[in-house]
Amino acid sequence: MRFHILTLFPEVFASVLSATMLQKGQERGALSFDLVNVRDFTTDKHRVTDDSPYGGGQGMVMKPEPIVAALESLEGKPWRVLLTPQARVLTQERARQLADLSSIALVCGRYEGVDERVRSYVDEEISVGDYILSGGEIGALVVIDAISRLVPGVLGCEDSAADDSFAGALLEYPQYTRPPEYRGASVPGVLLSGDHAAVARWRRQQSLHRTLQTRPDLLDRADLSPEDRAFLATLKRQDG
């Protein structure tokens, strides 16, 4: 997977892209990153990338010319994504679909946003949540991380992503490690039993319980077995 990142602040990405999972993904040849400074595509001597909005209003708006020129400079035909709070929020399922692509271009907006005409030059718009950031760079890092861990060869253990929260429309079960007892809180005995079937059953039930408590809306689209539904019914009776 190749990521083209169109930004006014390429330095924001340096430390994150050179650490942990993303660095290992590059070392393994599964990921590559192309930092594109939008300012390099301006045509005036002051390298201006923004201007005041027509019709008045607060703040500045990113100009269309340098963004479009930067997009058109990219080799191949990457899937072009605009980071904006006005779009649909990224989901695990959409991240999984995007991970199947060979290259993606991420356009990081700034200030009050980008000129509306830029939208004609992208394939998709993505939001990372119902809140406002100072720029698209942090949002782009979220998108990169969510997609990259689903690209084959990035994670050391390919099964890790399959067990994550939202992977099956359920929140992930609780995790424990050593020591077996910490300040009076013990690891559940089933996890120390060596009974793999019992561990799998416990984890499934814990995922169901946590999802019911925290994100019950996810249960409407989860793939639930008759046993899952019976367990949830028991929990609801207990709460009632």
Residue 207 φ then ψ, to 5°: -60, -45
Among 85, 110, 115, 137, which one carries the catalytic annotation? 85
One-letter-per-residue 3-state SS of 110-127: ECCCECHHHHHHCCEEEE
85 is catalytic: yes
Among 50, 65, 112, 172, which one carries the catalytic annotation? 112
125 is catalytic: no
Among 34, 125, 145, 164, which one carries the catalytic annotation? 164
- Is the peptide bond between 10 and the residue preceding it cis, with omega within 30 degrees of 0? no
Rounded CA-CA distance 27/33 in Å is 12
174 is catalytic: no
Among 39, 47, 149, 203, which one carries the catalytic annotation? 149
164 is catalytic: yes
Rounded CA-CA distance 103/115 in Å is 24
Sorted by sequence, the CB contacts under 8 Å of residue 37 that are 6+ apart come out as 7, 8, 10
Residues annotated as catalytic (active site), given as ranges: 85, 112, 149, 164
